Every structure is written in C-alpha cells, then in structure tokens.
Amino acid sequence: MKLRSINYISPIATEGSFEEVFIEETEVLIKKNKKYMSITFEMYCIRNEERIVLDERVIAFYGMAGDSITSNKLAVLSIPNENYDTELEAVPLTIEVENPDFDLEIVGSIEYITIDNPNYESQVASIKRVSHTPLLEYLYSHEGIFPEIYDIVQWGYPNFQDALQYFDGGDKVNPNITISNPFAKEWVKNNVVMKGELIGNQFEFVNED
C-alpha cells in the first residue's frame, strides 16, 4: 500500500514543501487471540538515495461483531431526497375546515370554509432534503451498490474482524498490505492523520500492479 504526493506542502508552516513524498505501511501487527490488528504508516521522501522519515502514524482495530469493547464506529451515508420538490409542492397552502358559523336554516350559509394551512411550516420542515442511513445497512439492502448521488458524512471505523477483510497481505506469503476495495481506500485517506492533517488532502494511492 503506497500513497504519493507529487508536491507536498507541510501543514507545519516552518517545514515548507517537499517533492515526491510517499506514505507506506512499515509494520502490520496481528494479535489473533486478542482480536487486535495495527498498521504503522510512515511518511517519507528520498534525498540523495536516503529515506528521510517525515512522520509516523499507527492505526489500530480491535474486537469482533457483537463485542462490547470494539473499535467499530458506524459509517453513515447522506442521500439526497429525489422527491423533495414533489413532496414540497404537495403540502397545501390552504385547507378546508368546518365553518363554525354554519347554520343550516340560513340561506347561503357555507358549511366549509378555506383557511391558511396552520401546519404548513411544520409539514414543510418534516420533509427531508437528505436522509442519513448507516452505510452497511444500505449496501446490504441494495446488493452492495452505492446510490448514484451520496455523501459520506461519517466514515466510521472498522473492528478487527472487518479490518481483516479490507486489508490484504501482511503475512509471510505477501508481506505488503494492499487494498482493492474502493471504499476502504477512501476510508484510509479520510481517517489516517499525519502531521495533523488527513492524508487524503494531499495524497493519492499509487497503482502498484
């Protein structure tokens, strides 16, 4: 797993900028019996054929589904309401109500009258422009397919069990960690912080095929 920033500007003002900065995992630790996994990331650049380390970060995952102690945090999608305008137009500005002054014996007395809808504002407010849905719940009910338009408002955090599915490798056969899941890649970019900044602000994954 490798990310690169062609022109990296350090968020630390005194450090300036660097050309060709990389982020790689340098250590993967799995404690199976403790249901624990950690990945150490290193930010570095090459100068005069030497690897200069700029920062280091460790992220950890623990627990299984159903455990009381776990690193799991819910990921949430924000999905626009495609029917918002239609639902808004359907809210009546006026309504018909019984006329309290109606008298059957009076000629021309009106049984119903039209008044401004007293609940108009609350009915409009109840129409959601977007819906917030747990990501895994949505994918499960939609056969793993994301909606056409969405935002991830909360990236969540996997537990040990889920992290093993996101990250491949890290063993004797394949010591390098790789990620093929597009969501997992975006998760890394939006959760790993180095030098006080999300790495996704300046780094992109490098194709190592």
Per domain, the residue ranges of the chain are 2-73+157-205, 84-125
Q: What H or E segment, with its residue span, contains residue 86?
A: helix 84-89
What's the pLDDT tens digit per position in 8-47?
999 998 999 999 999 999 998 999 999 999 999 999 999 9
Whether residue 199 is predicted with pLDDT greater than 90 in this model: the reply is yes
Q: Print burial letters for 36-68: b (CB count within 10 Å at least 16), e (below 16).
A: bbbbebbbbbeeeeeeeebbeeebebbbeeeee
- How far is residue 202's CA from residue 93's CA, in Å, rounded to a whole number? 50
Query: Distance between alpha carbon 83 and the CA centroid of its chain, in Å?
Result: 23
What is the pTM assigned to this prediction? Answer: 0.73
Average the pLDDT over each of 1-15, 115-129, 157-171, 185-199 and give the range with the smallest value. 157-171
What's the pLDDT tens digit per position in 117-143?
999 999 999 999 999 999 878 888 988
Parallel/antiparallel/unpaired status of strands 76-80 and 130-134: antiparallel
